[in-house]
Amino acid sequence: IAGITQAPTSQILAAGRRMTLRCTQDMRHNAMYWYRQDLGLGLRLIHYSNTAGTTGKGEVPDGYSVSRANTDDFPLTLASAVPSQTSVYFCASSAFGGSSTGELFFGEGSRLTVL
């Protein structure tokens, strides 16, 4: 089934450790995104990439980095995790141009707990 795959599904991490959340899509979408979801705050954009080789900062980029070496993969790295990064992380993708209406397709999420 086509879609977005995120890994890991869930992770508990000690503060100060480095962590990479993986995201792969097989829809050949141009754009990819990372959001975090926190109770009472909704979804907030961390980083985005409109095409392979380019990335941009969203609303809450501090403490996170991304790369987009190819169309399919968009990993999110926490260089030195802190407890405030405890959250559920969602990767998403979208096509644009042509008949696209801008819909985002989401993965199932990665629940990260930083202790």
Partner 1 sequence: GNSVTQMEGPVTLSEEAFLTINCTYTATGYPSLFWYVQYPGEGLQLLLKATKADDKGSNKGFEATYRKETTSFHLEKGSVQVSDSAVYFCALSASMTGYALNFGKGTSLLVTP
Ramachandran angles phi, psi of 7, nearest 5°: -150, 145
Residue 48: CA count within 13 A, CB half-sphere: 15
| Shortest CB 22 distance to partner 1, Å | 15
Q: How many residues bind partner 1 (CB under 8 A)?
A: 29
Q: What is the DSSP letter of 51?
A: S
What is d(CA 95, CA 31) in angstroms, rounded to the nearest whole number?
6
Distances (CA, A) of 91 to 5, 51, 52, 104, 107: 8, 15, 15, 10, 6
Give whichever of 15 and 38 is closer to partner 1, judged by the CB atom.
38
Under the binding rule (CB under 8 A), the answer on residue 104 touching partner 1 is: yes
Interaction between residue 98 and partner 1 (CB under 8 A): no
Between residue 59 and residue 88, which ones bind partner 1 under the rule CB under 8 A?
59
Q: Of 22, 27, 58, 63, which one interacts with partner 1 (CB under 8 A)?
A: 58
- For partner 1, the binding residues (CB under 8 A) are 4, 30-31, 33, 35, 40-45, 48, 50, 56-59, 90, 92, 94, 96, 101-104, 106-109
